[in-house]
Amino acid sequence: MPTVTQQKCACEPCVCIVDIADAINKDGKNYCSDECANGHPNSSGCDHAGCACKA
């Protein structure tokens, strides 16, 4: 059985795929950036190319 090493960022509008080993883990969920993990407190996106997420 293959081991899962990547998953979609837990931020709903975010389209980033994150390496689980490098992810920011908060409340048992994996995020691609501090902005996503903290609910976009500065109303800014994750700044990854091609992703326009922000709350």
Give the domain CATH number at 20: 2.30.170.10
Whether pTM > 0.85 for this model: the answer is yes
pLDDT at 55 over 70: no
Long-range contacts (CB closer than 8 Å, 24 or more residues apart) made by 12-20 = 13/53, 13/54, 13/55, 14/46, 14/51, 14/53, 15/50, 15/51, 15/53, 16/46, 16/48, 16/51, 16/53
**Using 50, 70 and 90 to split pLDDT, how confident is the model at 14?**
very high
Mean pLDDT, residues 20-31: 97
Number of folded domains in the chain?
A: 1
Range of the domain at 23: 1-55
Is residue 31 within 8 A of residue 39, CB to CB? The reply is no
